[in-house]
Amino acid sequence: RLDDPRAETLRAYLRILEETRPKSFLLENVEGLAFRNKDEGLKLILDEIKAINRRRGTKYDPVFQVVNAASYGVPQLRKRLIMVGSRDGTRFEFPQPTHRLTAESVEEGDDKLEPPRTAWDALADVGRDPSEDVAATGRWADLLPSIPEGCNYLWHTDRGGGEPLFGWRRRYWSFLLKLAKNKPSWTVQAQPGPGSGPFHWDNRRLSMRELC
């Protein structure tokens, strides 16, 4: 995985960290960086930061945690690994979550948190340029109206409530994925294909302003 060209961004980040030696740094990456047996990138970062400390006399002692943006009031379920370090060795303490991930209180202590910010909270008052083409395209676009809010292609499998058109878990989670008004948005895709959601509950692609 470190041979993937995208891994070069980690090395570039570390090079800039060593050259500038900021008072503190924050690094954000996909949660998979910390997956067990797939954490070569994480080990590379931690080992290289130790080497930077030896070479430059800094005391970076980074801490990292996988956080969900929705836990802090963002209306989007988005998990990312966040790493923070200070040049003088001060250890960062991650803030406690402020919001639940669901409207229901399912875990001990969740009743003290705010309810989640929802897709409706974020999008209800967002105006859309009528000249922007947001029609869903692709082979399966006509299926969107038949999929309930908050569901994806799994609705049309032998375990869902629709037609058995697809095999169970044979597609990406984002395939024909629709937003639900009463829940945070699913993670917005950086480079979605024609069948990749999240789609608007009005059975169309999200506009540029809505994506923002």
Pairing of strands 63-68, 24-30: unpaired
pLDDT of residue 203: 97
pLDDT of residue 10: 85
User: Does 179 have pLDDT greater than 70?
Assistant: yes
Residues 6+ apart with CB under 8 A from 121: 75
> Per-residue pLDDT averaged across 175-185, rounded?
96
* pTM of the predicted structure, to 2 decimals: 0.85
- Tell me the C-alpha to C-alpha distance, in Å, between residue 76 and each of 69, 80, 154: 7, 12, 21
> Per-residue pLDDT averaged across 132-139, rounded?
94
**Residue 154 burial (CB count, 10 A):** 20
| CA–CA gap between residue 32 and residue 75 (Å, rounded) | 22
Instruction: For the chain, give the mean pLDDT.
Output: 92
Q: For residue range 35-47, list pLDDT tens digits in order.
A: 877 788 888 899 9
pLDDT of residue 58: 98
Rounded to 5 degrees, φ, ψ at 82 are -115, 130
pLDDT of residue 110: 78
> Per-residue pLDDT averaged across 149-168, rounded?
95
Q: Indicate the pLDDT class of residue 3, thresholds 50, 70 and 90.
A: low
What is the DSSP annotation of 65-121?
Answer: EEEEGGGGT-SB--EEEEEEEETT-PPP-PPPP-B-SSSS--STTGGGSBPPP-HHH
Q: For residue range 68-109, list pLDDT tens digits in order.
A: 999 999 999 999 999 999 999 999 999 999 999 988 766 777
